[in-house]
Amino acid sequence: MLSALLIICSCLSVRSSGKPMFPENEKSPAFWNNGAQKTLKEALSTQELNKNKAKNLILFLGDGMGVPTVTAARILKGQLNGQSGEEYQLEMDKFPFVSLSKTYNTDAQVPDSAGTATAYLCGVKANEGTVGVSAAAVRSQCNTTKGNEVTSILKWAKDAGKSVGIVTTTRINHATPSAAYAHSVDRDWYSDNEMPSEALQAGCKDIARQLFENIPNIDVIMGGGRKYMFPKNMSDVDYPGVAKYNGVRNDGRNLVQEWIDRMKDQGGHYVWNKQQLLSLNPKKTSYLLGLFGPVDLPYDLERNADSDPSLTQMVEVAIKVLQNNPKGFYLLVEGGRIDHGHHEGKAKQALYEAVEMDRAIGRADLLTSAQDTLTVVTADHSHVFTFGGYTRRGNTIFGLAPMVSDVDHKPFTSILYGNGPGYKLVGGARENVSTVDFAENNYKAQSAVPLTSETHGGEDVAVFAKGPLAHLLHGVHEQNFIPHVMAYAACIGQNRGHCPSGGTAALRPVFSSMAAVLTVTLLLC
């Protein structure tokens, strides 16, 4: 009886608020018909396929950005722009081609970020916890590294004479970026301090060291992870009194200073805060190393706007530096802390991170052209994040469902997790969320199963693509297909037989002769 009354009161309060539940023009069939016709014309125009050679390649990787996260971020961004949110378009929503990627690792149904990074960067599926090595390598077993290394599209681009860059909101030696340059059987070997002695004695190198040694002239490197680059106990430049941010390297090497010494006569610049980054002249910068935190960068909601650069700002500088090369560039951009927000059950942090990555996508669009730049947006995996509860149109994405549970008679937020740290019992029963501030930045949404860290999800993730040969990313594909398409479009790596000898003229696909045969056959018939 109590639950029925609460449901009725909730519905009455929505209807009596005086606010329209949706825009007035949506009552007219003409609104929807006209919108569909406009979209139809746009869809027909995409049939004029862009078969240009891709001079530039950009991969935006939203770590943990599953389809529910994309949808929720769309609503959030729309609401931040004064709309109800559901009808809003993210920058990635505007891409003409969308497909699905199967994310499993060779040894895992629900993947991790290391094995997936090896797939979408190196073109080879791998075991969880390993980066830049094939599935023949065994996690944490150093002696399985040699002979099982696989190279990434970043290296293919560098070998072809293009400039290359990595921008991330996590440690630059975290799972996603490390697969672009490292070969490690353990994603957690950030520095030699995290490696077992037997692995060091067997000759395995930590990931921070590989960043500077494997591909020594990566043109742009931006992210966090300073502590892994400096000798043990060396104070951090921004947190001199905080011991946990001191350098951790046991080998005594200062990898940053080594980079500065090597690049000082080659137009190289090292920066560690926003002011230094934005004061650079990109036209006069050949190489850029930006390390903006001892570990991961702050969440965007907690970022110091005076000293910490946003992902959008980093992406803009990166593109302007990389554009100095007339042969073009490859850029990997990771919105890495979407994943961290979800693991912590902090949906608000995760979704604001996704919104910021979408802003960076928009900025990249303004700085490049779809005529010569293939841009791909995807995720490595999803999370057990969802939102539901029959919420009304325009309901704040962080709000309550318009009903209470018909079992425990308590309200619940629309956003929930399948598992994670948000599981909480009060007096042996589910916590009443109306007694807490569920709109607070670090609120941990309720979960069904108690875990200290929420887990990844195993479903397919979306792949958005625009630019030269973007139409090749269609249907449902294995995740390792992505770099093969990007390399094919740019005429780097393998499969270069279809490429023109020079310039940016349209490619001649290998299947054109077959199409000609089919055309003649149809005419004869």
Residues 113, 178, 191, 447: which is the catalytic one?
113
Residue 474 is labelled as binding a ligand: no
pLDDT of the residue at 500: 82
Backbone angles phi, psi at 383, to 5 degrees: -140, 165
Residue type present at position 127:
N
Task: Look at residue 252 and give its three-state secondary structure.
Answer: coil
Q: Which residue do the tokens 């639950």 mark?
A: 3
Q: Determine which of 26-40, 336-350, 379-393 has the lowest per-residue pLDDT on average.
A: 26-40
DSSP letters for 219-237:
SEEEEE-GGGGSBTTPPPS
Residue 380 is labelled as binding a ligand: yes
pLDDT of the residue at 505: 55
Q: Which domains does the chain have, with CATH numbers?
A: 49-384+456-490 (3.40.720.10), 400-450 (no CATH)
pLDDT of the residue at 300: 98
**CA–CA distances in Å: residue 365 to residues 49, 283, 370, 372, 471:** 19, 19, 8, 12, 18
pLDDT in tens, 309-321: 999 999 999 999 9
pLDDT-derived band at 9 (thresholds 50, 70, 90) equals very low
pLDDT of the residue at 459: 98
Statement: residue 517 has pLDDT above 50 = no
Q: Region 418-429: what's the mean pLDDT?
A: 96
Q: Region 468-487: what's the mean pLDDT?
A: 98
Active site residue 113: yes
Residue 206 is labelled as binding a ligand: no
Do residues 59 and 333 touch, judged by C-beta distance below 8 A?
yes
pLDDT in tens, 263-286: 999 999 999 999 999 999 999 999
Residue 334 is labelled as binding a ligand: yes
Q: Region 434-439: what's the mean pLDDT?
A: 96
Encoded tokens for 228: 């892994």
**CA–CA distances in Å: residue 324 to residues 161, 213, 275, 368:** 12, 23, 22, 13
pLDDT in tens, 359-400: 999 999 999 999 999 999 999 999 999 999 999 999 999 999
Q: How far apart are the first and last CA of the chain?
A: 73
Identify the bridge partners of residue 57 per DSSP, sorted by sequence position. 330, 374
Residue 296 is labelled as binding a ligand: no
Of 111, 99, 113, the residue nearest 62 (C-alpha): 113
Backbone angles phi, psi at 484, to 5 degrees: -65, -40
pLDDT in tens, 164-218: 999 999 999 999 999 999 999 999 999 999 999 999 999 999 999 999 999 989 9
pLDDT in tens, 458-472: 999 999 999 999 999
Q: Region 423-443: what's the mean pLDDT?
A: 96
pLDDT-derived band at 7 (thresholds 50, 70, 90) equals very low
Residue 144 is labelled as binding a ligand: no
Residues 6+ apart with CB under 8 A from 333: 58, 59, 60, 61, 167, 168, 311, 315, 318, 357, 360, 364
- Round to whole Å and give the CA distance between 383 and 79: 23
Q: Which residue do the tokens 């594909």 mark?
A: 477
pLDDT in tens, 244-256: 999 999 999 999 9
Statement: residue 440 has pLDDT above 70 = yes
pLDDT of the residue at 10: 42
Q: Which helix (H) or strand (E) holds 501?
A: none
Classify each residue of 35-52 as buried b or exposed e, where b means 16 or more C-beta atoms within 10 Å of its C-beta.
eeeeeeeeeeeeeeebbb
Encoded tokens for 334: 């990771």
Q: Which helix (H) or strand (E) holds 247?
A: none
Statement: residue 18 has pLDDT above 80 = no
Residue 93 is labelled as binding a ligand: no
pLDDT in tens, 489-505: 999 999 898 998 754 45
- Round to whole Å and give the CA distance between 486 and 472: 9
Residue 261 is labelled as binding a ligand: no
pLDDT of the residue at 525: 40
Do residues 369 and 53 touch, judged by C-beta distance below 8 A?
no
Of 454, 402, 449, the residue nearest 110 (C-alpha): 454
Statement: residue 514 has pLDDT above 90 = no
The pTM of this model reads 0.93
pLDDT-derived band at 508 (thresholds 50, 70, 90) equals low
Statement: residue 484 has pLDDT above 70 = yes
Residue 39 is labelled as binding a ligand: no
pLDDT of the residue at 507: 73
Residues 6+ apart with CB under 8 A from 67: 382, 459, 461, 462
Statement: residue 509 has pLDDT above 90 = no
pLDDT of the residue at 78: 97
